[in-house]
Structure 1
């Protein structure tokens, strides 16, 4: 009998396995027990920052802990992305990511992380409508007039962006390619500065998000010549799409989504996903996002992961064809 009850490596292994199995669900059940960090890899006042600061407080209410938005800008979003990818995979660090973070920067920069390997999808949050915006001093009231003006003086018209390889930059490169124009790209360190100089007339145009530009279109400080997506915006019903205004095949939509470090326990990912989707289902949040030109999504981690993989395939081809570099 004594031999049967005595300790053995097999008994210790069995107990360890049972304890680990019990600890996993328990930790997921108690998560979170401290504030959650939501990193934005860009400067304040840009579209990503706006969405993060709208969603984070409501997530905090559902999770029972603060969700703190932290701006870690630099290198076109690489610094913030790498910070999150290298963080502890415990659910307390997340990234409000963009197309640039997850599907563009890997082909522009020598990143120290592999975004598809080192980050775990939580949920796509929104798709964002972009528009071709011009300063009122630009003598073009329609997209056709803008194209004619650009072709008459190649390189004379300038367009601002949040940085090399960001959504506005890629939208401009795609426009040049399909419209046969040659615009001069002026990159900034963040979309806030880019938009500010467009409003001030330091640059001619920008391919930018309606999230932050819409108020300036409505008060006349900017003019929207066309919507970059496949459909007109209900917020600017008189603005045609680029495709219907004379550039067939043109379509550009940016997107934002929440990711966490790879290795984050699946129950924790599911809890974050549930919080995101509940927030996006709240009527006032949905209305605010739609009023800023965003289409609310909120999908599963699996669906978002497949979407990210497809976006990588798409934008790698565009970047290689246009020979875009980070320099």
Structure 2
């Protein structure tokens, strides 16, 4: 009996010691809700590479594509809230999808914010065949030619599609939406003049802008972007407040301990403060958020504000999937 008591005591002591180990004590997985090689995947890998140095553990990137990111988000929403499974959330997965799809989870309430990573505003671009040399010229031409122009999008409910609907509301213009299976084929048709407009990511558009194949009017943010400092903001171009960005952030499952979240947030902030990380993010069109906006509390407020802004626009435009 005495031996059994001693053995149980040793087992309990070992369990207590193991459970008290500081976080993290094993590899962390970050789920990226899109294919490898894309801008979200690249951004995640840049930041994760620095985070692992701070955390002292490997970070595994797992790409889980499908259903505009909702498959990956649903998986992480149901994962153990222990800090070892995270998701790279973006405007689409953690704002728009809640208004477009019938989901098995809540885009806000089933996740714990970790920290904002970067902003990726869009460029308003057009075919060179469109007779408009400025954003104000573009708005005037569209008003004079309702429903004659077409906008290429990467699909129903994509950020470009929603940006176009927002543009309708802001400017009183009307044009047709042409959905494609991704940004690349849409851009090909823009260059060829088969569609007239796109609201597109800098990573896709800038090579064609710089080569003179398409025309850029403005960037949809309050500040110019480092990757293209010569392109004016929408405020400067005459469309004040037309802001939309495919921002990137880290989320954990709902219920993750606040101390664990604090450790993860600190690793994010240290990574974003690194000049080499900042340089690499700028090269792919990503703009890190200011330090004061990298907190978990700010991300929670920011996401709530984004939902409040975009859900009425999405629903008002009748954007939904079957």
Q: Would you say same fold, with TM above 0.5?
A: yes
- TM-score using structure 2 length: 0.84
Q: Is the 8 A contact 1:163 1:169 kept in 2?
A: yes
Provide the C-alpha distance between the structure 1 equivalents of 2:234 and 2:147, rounded to a whole number of angstroms: 20
Q: 1:4 maps to which residue?
A: none
Moved more, 128-137 or 57-66: 57-66
Q: Could you say which residue in structure 1 is the equivalent of 2:315? A: 320
CA distance 1:323–1:50, shift in 2 (3 Å): same
* Cα drift, residue 170 of structure 1: 1.7
Given that 1:243 and 1:251 are in contact with CA atoms closer than 8 Å, whether structure 2 keeps it comes out as no
Aligned to 1:77: 69
**2:247 partner SS:** strand
* Alignment check: 8 A CA contact 1:32 1:63 kept: no
Answer yes or no: is 1:33 the counterpart of 2:29. no
Matched, 1:308 2:300: no
CA contact (8 A) 2:33 2:65 kept: yes
**Corresponding residue to 1:149 among 141, 149, 166:** 141
Q: 1:160 aligns with which of 152, 161, 173?
A: 152
- Following TM superposition, by how much is the alpha carbon of 1:178 offset from its aligned partner in structure 2, in angstroms? 1.3
Closer/same/farther in 2, CA of residues 234 and 117 from structure 1, 3 Å limit = closer
Query: Structure 1 residues 308, 32: CA separation in 2 closer, same or farther (over 3 Å shift)?
Result: farther
> Is contact 1:46–1:190 with CA below 8 Å preserved after alignment?
no
Query: Where does 1:96-245 land on structure 2 (aligned, <5 Å)?
Result: 96-199=88-191, 201-245=193-237
Distance 1:200 1:93, change over 3 A: farther
Q: Which whole-Å deviations, capped at 9, do the CAs of 1:49-106 have from their partners, x for residues lacking one?
A: 2311322222233334332333322222212211211222232321111112112211
After TM superposition, give the deviation of residue 261 of structure 1 in Å: 1.2
C-alpha separation in 2, matches of 1:21 and 1:303: 35
What is the SS of the residue equivalent to 1:115?
coil
Decide which moves more: 287-296 or 72-81.
287-296
Secondary structure in 2 matching 1:39: strand
Q: CA–CA distance in 1 between the matches of 2:153 and 2:17?
A: 50
Report if aligned partners of 2:226, 2:282 keep a CA contact under 8 Å in 1.
no
Asked whether the 8 Å contact 1:42–1:190 carries over to 2, the reply is: no
Contact 1:127 1:294 in 2 (8 A): yes
Q: 1:60 to 1:236 in 2, by over 3 A?
A: same
1:234 CA drift (Å): 4.8
Q: Is the 8 A contact 1:128 1:211 kept in 2?
A: no
Q: Matches of 1:272 and 1:49 in 2, distance apart?
A: 19
Is 1:282 equivalent to 2:274 in the alignment?
yes
How far apart are the structure 2 equivalents of 1:195 and 1:61? 38
Shift of residue 151, structure 1, vs aligned partner? 3.0
Q: Matches of 1:102 and 1:78 in 2, distance apart?
A: 9
What is the TM-score normalised by the length of structure 1?
A: 0.83
CA distance in structure 2 between the aligned counterparts of 1:23 and 1:295, rounded to whole angstroms: 40
RMSD: 2.9
Distance 1:189 1:66 in 2: 34
- Are 1:61 and 2:50 matched, yes or no? no
Measured after TM superposition, the shift of residue 194 of structure 1 is 4.1
Between the aligned partners of 2:186 and 2:57, the Cα distance in structure 1 is 34
List gaps (5 residues or longer) in structure 1.
Answer: 1-6, 8-15
